[in-house]
Amino acid sequence: MLIVEGVGSSRQELAAWIDATLWVQADEEPIAERNAARIEAGETTSAGLAGWMSEERPFLAEDRPWERATAIVAGTGELPHKDCAEALVAGPA
């Protein structure tokens, strides 16, 4: 088994070679907070983040990898659970 991580890891060009994909969906506010923490920690800069987003957003708008996902997971859930031991599962929307 090989696990590949990253926003572009399940892009359309690779779909024929991928058995399953997992899309982690997060709300904009927690993403912004995480990115601000990365800048504060020195993991990236504001300019670096802006450059990354200038490429990522158009890619996501066109490729829409979540539409091919085997499962979609909430990356910013608010229901209480033990992150290291439990997964929350919901039925279809």
Convert the pLDDT of each residue in 49-84 to its tens digit.
Answer: 999 999 999 999 999 999 999 988 877 767 777 777
Distance CA 83, CA 63 (A): 30
| Residue 65 is assigned to a structural domain of this protein | yes
Give CA separation, 89 vs 5, 25, 50, 84, in Å.
21, 14, 33, 15
The band of 90, judged by pLDDT with boundaries at 50, 70 and 90, is: low
Grouping H, G, I as helix, E, B as strand and the rest as coil, residue 23 is: strand
| Residue 38 is assigned to a structural domain of this protein | yes
Distance CA 61, CA 74 (A): 19
The whole-number pLDDT of residue 46 equals 96
| Residue 79 is assigned to a structural domain of this protein | no
Give the range of the structural domain holding residue 28, as residue numbers without chain letter: 24-74
| Residue 40 is assigned to a structural domain of this protein | yes
| Residue 28 is assigned to a structural domain of this protein | yes
Length of the chain: 93
| Residue 3 is assigned to a structural domain of this protein | no
* pTM, rounded to two decimals: 0.72
The number of domains in the chain is 1
| Residue 36 is assigned to a structural domain of this protein | yes
Distance CA 22, CA 7 (A): 10
